[in-house]
Chains A and B, each alone.
Chain A
Amino acid sequence: MTDTIQYAKRRFEAVKRSIVGDRDEESTLLAGREGNAGVHLQLWFLVTLVVFPIFIAVVVSTKQQGIVTSLPDLIPGTYAVENYREAIVDYGFGRFMWNSLLMSVVVVVGKLVISVLAAVAIVYYRVPYKDLVFLFVLFTLLLPVPIRFVPLFQLINDLGWGNSLLAITVPYLASATTVFILRQHFLSIPTSIVETAKLDGVGPVAFTLRVLIPMSRGVLVGVSIIMFVYAWNQYLWPLVIIDSEANQVAQVGLQLLQGDVQGGQLSWSLVMAGSVLTLLPPLALMILFRKPLLETFAIQQK
């Protein structure tokens, strides 16, 4: 008899708890929604701020003259096909884009290979003074390519690489940033995984290819995209070292587009068409690989 009474009482308590609990949950949910609205408003504002210049560029690239001075000028024109055709075909922008793509891919692949090897050596091998070596690698950040232009120019010409793909890729193959990011990532992989492989007799090459790289896929993709955009945006060095039009890259090609100024009449619509074109490959990559990119650079909650 007492058992039954206690059961009823306990059940009542449980029901009461669940009802009260539910109501609490609902109210926090509502508060969350209100908070979200504010956040969304801010996000919209910021996104608009960032996107607006690009929007103008797209609009201008569809016009004949492309001068925007008032709001009605923001209505797209009808010269889109004409402008893009002229940039790609007449000004050889397609060729520049292809060169840029080649350069960027070579730089990214080369950087990844060298950086993975360097990071593996730094993290997993007993190298004497390896912290010092790593520090030295980081020191190269203080000496970016632009500072080395003059001797580098001399060196490339002495090697007879002038005007070639080698000239615009090799100087960028080593990357302290990538080594650093990969090192941090490798350090975050539990040592027990490395030790299991060691006990299983998995060799260093098999370990790197079959364990380390698959486990670092996200970071590698993220780093690749950043490096691709960086390589894609190279301007000064290709301008200096490449002098044949056939080997030139897109960013320099943009400059060439506005070279045709006649009587102070700069064809902004052409320049903007070129700009929009150069924007597309990095944008496509960002959209395609946004997930690994966010995973790599988001602050991880642990």
Chain B
Amino acid sequence: MNKLTIKQYILKFQSIIALLVMCIAMSFLSDRFLTVENTWNVMRQISVNLIISVGMTLVILTKGIDLSVGSVLAIAGAVTASIVKFGAEIPSMNVYLQFTLVGAIAGGILAGVLLGGFNGLMITRFKVPPFVATLAMLTIARGMTMLWTGGFPITGMTKEMAFIGTGWFLGIPMPVWISAVVVLIAVLVTKRTQLGRHIYAVGGNETAARLSGLKIERIKLIVYSVAGAMAAIAGILVTSRLDSAQPNAGAGYELDSIAAVVIGGTSLSGGKGSVMGTVQGALIIGVLNNGLVLLNVSPFWQQIIKGLVILIAVGIEKINSKEE
């Protein structure tokens, strides 16, 4: 037990060291990098990826994967946007419901939980491998978003809705608050609760976990539902920031999210890793994205550099964890 914690600390420090090196290098290369304004800017920009990645971390800890987060993000954003803008109509009962903002947000999150829960059901009940089940959901949820929006963006939300993504509270941008709360809850759940220990146990050794009487199906169902909820919260945030729900929002976000999780030291083979590691991973990607634009690096090179950073980060970690 003791040894494992030491190793985890080393892993944690690796990401932090990488992050520090990047930040120091960036502040030498651009005098615009280390300003208060740009720091909030980076924090705000990573919040969407970070929220998705918290859900992704839990999924990957159970040795799973969720490829559907980008599409779930889109449908949740679209649901919330349309409820905020148009309310809900039930023609058969001749009822028109006007929702408050909270109701609209709840609607969007509910959509995410249901789709995530469906992922979990497919994986536990029908034994569909997580990669396949969530790949299917990636296209299903994207199709549902197209149906829901007719392929057109839903634009023009209320002021209150815009506050979620663009407002400030106590001198800190709202998206940073939201992601911080999400991270805090996730850290407490993974470190302090029985559910958290069970998540690690399922990913570490599923057979042993089953033999010791854990309800594996239930744990996985919860984890995928949470991942759906996280994607939904991210979707509402994106919608609020843009003042618009885009039908193609979130396309490819699963890759950035998986990158944040693995750079943060969570093992794709399950059971090892932490939410705080993912925070560092998301920060590394965020600083990289921001820095490459600040330095006006050519878009062609940006893609290559990002790929190399993922390889280097995970490569170094693998070497070190072998030497342990």
Verify that A and B bind, or say they do not: no
Q: Which chain A residues have a beta carbon within 8 Å of chain B's beta carbons?
A: none
Q: Which chain B residues have a beta carbon within 8 Å of chain A's beta carbons?
A: none
